[in-house]
Amino acid sequence: MSQVVADQRLAREIEHFDAHYAQEAAQGIETLSDFDRQRYTAPKANTIYPREFYHHLLSPLRDKNVMEIAAGNGIDASICCHNGANLHAYDVSGASIKMVQQRACVNGVADRLNTQVTSNFMQAFEGQQFDHIIGYAALHHIPMEGLAQQVYSRLKPGGSAVFAEPVINSQLLYRLRKMVPYSFFEDTDDETPLNDKDIVEFAKPFDRMQKRYFHLTSRIWHAFPNCWPLVRGLHAFDREILRLPFMRQFATVCVFALHRDK
């Protein structure tokens, strides 16, 4: 990708997310519920939910130094701070970082938060190393060339990089999704969902990897957000069917941890 094309893509991403997070913040920022504080504090490994598994891979966070790539609306930042992390969050969007700061304030964890607006991973909190580097639906928005080695270099020995990413491994599923005009997720024109080959390539600098797949039938839960029996049932069904290796190609989310042992 040429620098001109990369700059144009970045400008579109900034414009999109500045508008998106300004609109989201205008609707109000609520505190984390007691339910969410509990469910994301040391979740079990066999959880049926991808965000819980993401935070399971990070636990325990007490006094750990954590860097978050593409902090978005700040939900995971506030969860990490609530769980005791010293969080360093950055995003290309100034509106995103403003929302991250506001959410931390309303949740009483602003003293554990540092923020920066930048698009450059190595310039973000320059010179620091971290116990964890994290991103929830972050990697597919940013250029990944050379990023894995950079992430590895900024982890302390014994640290890990934890990501949750949309994935497409089935071309049949991809074509079917393209035929559906409505998406349950926030999409931009420049994003590129990962596949297993991308994840394996990204994992090469690291010493080992853990991963789990999510969202097969449960992808439709966004259409029924208040029907918790259905939501739980779909996620539980997915956990069981995704134990079958063949079915994992149809999953739409992969949560994975990459470890630096030395």
What are the pLDDT digits (tens) for 52-72?
Answer: 999 999 999 999 999 999 999
Tell me which residue has tokens 């991809």.
Answer: 174
Which domains can be identified in the chain, with CATH numbers? 3-168+190-214+252-259 (3.40.50.150)
Distance, in Å, from the CA atom of 249 to the CA atom of 234, rounded to the nearest integer, reads 18
Per-residue confidence (pLDDT) for residue 31, from 0 to 100: 95
Which one-letter amino acid corresponds to residue 94?
Answer: G
Confidence category of residue 173, pLDDT binned at 50, 70, 90? low
Distance, in Å, from the CA atom of 10 to the CA atom of 6, rounded to the nearest integer, reads 6
> SS3 sequence, 40-58?
CCCCCCCCCCHHHHHHHHH
Tokens read off for 31: 């505190």
Q: Left (φ > 0), alpha (ψ -120 to 50) or beta: where does 84 sit?
A: left
- β-strands 86-91, 65-69 pairing: parallel
pLDDT in tens, 106-165: 999 999 999 999 999 999 999 999 999 999 999 999 988 999 999 999 999 999 999 999
Which segments of 83-227 does DSSP mark as H helices, in order?
A: 94-106, 147-153, 171-178, 196-202
Beta-carbon contacts of 98 under 8 Å, excluding residues fewer than 6 positions away, are 21, 25
Element (H, E) at 238: helix 228-241
DSSP 96: H
